Amino acid sequence: MTRHDVNRSEFSTLDAGKLLPGCSLPISAAATEDRHAVHAFRQFEPLPIDGLTQTAQRSLADSWVDVARSLKTMHDAGLCYGRITSTAFHNRGSETEPVATLWIDPSRAIETDAVHHGDPESMYWTAARLQSGKPPQPADDWYALGIVLAEISLSSASVHKIWELSRQDGKFVESLIKNLKRARSDRRLRKLAIALIRQGATGKVDDATIDKLTTRPATGHRTSTFVSVAVLLLALVAVGVTLYRNMNARHDRQIAMLAGQVDELQRRAEAMENATPSSIAPPVADSQSVAVPQSVAVAVPEPAVVRPDDRGRWTTELAGRSLEQAIEASVDFQPSQWRDRLIGLQQLPGQKQWRTANVTLRRLIQQAVDKPWDDDAIQDAQDRIASLGRAHARWTEWARSNRSVDEIRTQHDLMPSGLVKEFLGQWLGEALELRSFDLRTRVVKADEGNTFLAHVIGFETPSDSESVDWAWESTDGGDASIAMQIDDYRAGQALSYWLKKDSSIPYWDKTVIEHTFDSPLLAWQLAKGLRLENSESGYAVLLSTNARFGPPVKLETSSVAVVEAEKRKVVDPMDDLPFGLD
């Protein structure tokens, strides 16, 4: 077992080269007049913490990988620093793209009792370490590193303010994590800070978290990225040109085919006209003969001929066609019951959508089209459509209910075996496998007296959060839209959503829409479109997603009445309506 004891701080036993570039050890036996250690890279400036641009934050986020690797190497050697603060880091990069390096001062590492409650540096110490006064452990270094990342994400002044306000209730970690989740800084930086602070406070940082810290995200060079995009655009242009030419050639062939058919019809018409016997003129009556009235021939319709070879003709002319094409082309086929069967199949609720979504149903319907005289083929297609419809009704009931995912799975397990249970199990599996999706927001209306163009939109789940600046082109919203990526999502998890007016003054933003979703099938509901409205603020938005799983969100010609999302009032905090689904 590796022993971490800062009192035996034998940093001189470490190979300084193995710690670079993330950590820098001082030059041996060298110090300044104020007893600060002297490092080989004295030209390094202190690391900037506040006012960083997004480019600078991304550069810093990448350099923390080197720092984490160096810390892990030091911990593996049995040593802990225990005095990590934001002032201990220096910048080995540039002002626009800073790169962090931790300067280690062994003389400060041995001062295990130098920090007490109330000391500003105690912000970087865990509560357990302050109470016990024991030498630092690896989790203490990781925790302090998380605090530094939080300062970069929120600003050092904000973190110190949170620490001061939390000194009375002792909820510094909880308050800091809550603010990090709603910050607008680099997403990866915030996630690293949250993981380090939360786990470091417990005294144990998971190996998986350390692996994420020490693994550099795969990023390609800008030039290669631009080249890839250019090649992709050229490929799209080439494909478009090819498709255009193919469409023109196909159009020409169709015109030639139609012209040939017209010529053939003209030849048949001429042949029929020539084959019609000319009318016989009656004899001219003699002037002395008595006029005898001529009898008028009455046209008697011929009885319908039942062609015994229609089954073979159907197989030759209609087999392989779609359901709609077969119905349209089978008007004169005998017996007419074949066509009536296909019409009944076409009119079943949701048939067209189920045929698109279900491969087996497409095969069964094609078998019915190819052999409409086969009772089993028709019945199999009808049974599958009916089972899909019953499964859709149960799925919709689950989506509207307040049942948890575990309760839904239990109810599914208790169902009798059959097609309905099979379909529900497949859709439920897709819902449970969903891990990420886009949450899209479109403005439906804003307050009539709104004067704000700058807004802030965000969400929070147990494992992810995001807060994004959203600038409108007009004060009424003008049908503005925006999308946010939600990662690490699990079906049934609560998702908090908010929209604020950005006042440009911290903590003065006004929330105009805020709601927490807890439906186990939220992503499927979002595919239908959910409208959030706050009658007090006058704002209304429509939420949707790109995720597609489970059954169709709406069945055509279904007996279940479905109201369009645009006309449905989903949530009004003044009325507390549950999704507005009646």
pLDDT 10s digit of each residue in the chain, 582 long?
344 444 445 777 776 677 778 888 876 544 555 556 666 566 678 888 888 887 887 788 788 888 999 899 888 888 888 889 998 898 888 888 888 888 888 877 767 666 776 677 888 888 888 888 788 899 999 999 999 999 988 888 889 988 888 877 788 899 899 888 888 777 888 888 999 999 999 989 988 888 888 887 665 444 555 566 777 778 777 777 777 777 777 776 777 677 667 667 777 766 766 655 444 444 444 444 444 445 444 454 444 444 555 888 898 888 888 898 999 888 888 888 888 989 988 888 888 888 888 889 989 999 999 999 999 999 999 998 999 989 998 988 888 888 888 888 888 888 888 889 899 998 888 888 888 899 999 998 888 888 888 898 999 998 888 888 898 888 888 888 999 999 989 888 899 999 998 876 655 668 889 999 988 888 888 888 899 998 888 899 999 998 888 888 777 753 333 333 334 333 333 333 333 333
CA atoms of 461 and 494, how far apart (whole Å):
6
Q: Is residue 30 part of a domain?
A: yes
Q: Judge if 381 and 461 occupy the same domain.
A: no
Please name the helix (run of DSSP H) or strand (run of DSSP E) that holds residue 466, with its range, or none: strand 464-471
Does residue 369 sit in helix, strand or coil?
A: helix
Q: Is residue 579 part of a domain?
A: no
Q: Is residue 428 part of a domain?
A: no
Which letter does DSSP use for residue 31 in this model? B
Q: Is residue 223 part of a domain?
A: no
Place of tokens 């030209």: 43
pLDDT of residue 303: 46
Q: Judge if 449 and 511 occupy the same domain.
A: yes
Q: Residue 302: what residue type?
A: E
Domain closes at, from 178, 196, 213? 213
Q: Judge if 348 and 201 occupy the same domain.
A: no
Q: Judge if 197 and 332 occupy the same domain.
A: no
Q: Is residue 423 part of a domain?
A: no
Domain span including residue 551: 434-567
The residue among 148, 94, 98 whose CA lies nearest residue 123 is 148
Please name the helix (run of DSSP H) or strand (run of DSSP E) that holds residue 531, with its range, or none: strand 530-534
Q: Judge if 474 and 530 occupy the same domain.
A: yes
Please list, in sequence order, all residues whose beta carbon lies within 8 angstroms of the beta carbon of residue 190, skipping any fewer than 6 positions away: 149, 153, 180, 181, 183, 465
Q: Judge if 108 and 58 occupy the same domain.
A: yes
Here the CATH number for the domain that contains residue 80 is 1.10.510
Q: Judge if 361 and 470 occupy the same domain.
A: no
Q: Is residue 220 part of a domain?
A: no
Here the CATH number for the domain that contains residue 458 is 2.60.40
CA atoms of 497 and 439, how far apart (whole Å):
10
Q: What 3 state SS string does 408-461 have?
A: HHHHHHCCCCCHHHHHHHHHHHHHHHCCCEEEEEEEEECCCCCCCCEEEEEEEE
Alpha helix (H) residue ranges in 218-322: 222-275, 310-317
Instruction: Return the C-alpha torsion angle 515, 517, 523, 527, nearest 10.
Output: -40
Q: Judge if 392 and 439 occupy the same domain.
A: no
pLDDT of residue 312: 87
Q: Is residue 389 part of a domain?
A: yes
Give, in order, the Cα–Cα distances in Å from 5 to each of 79, 136, 483. Answer: 6, 7, 49
Which letter does DSSP use for residue 257 in this model? H
Domain closes at, from 370, 397, 424? 397
Domain count, the chain: 3
Q: Is residue 501 part of a domain?
A: yes
Q: Judge if 371 and 503 occupy the same domain.
A: no
CA atoms of 73 and 23, how far apart (whole Å):
10
Does residue 482 sit in helix, strand or coil?
A: strand
Give, in order, the Cα–Cα distances in Å from 305 to each of 302, 309, 314. Answer: 8, 11, 16
Alpha helix (H) residue ranges in 276-374: 310-317, 323-329, 337-346, 351-357, 359-370
Q: Judge if 193 and 96 occupy the same domain.
A: yes
Here the tokens at position 292 are 């005898």
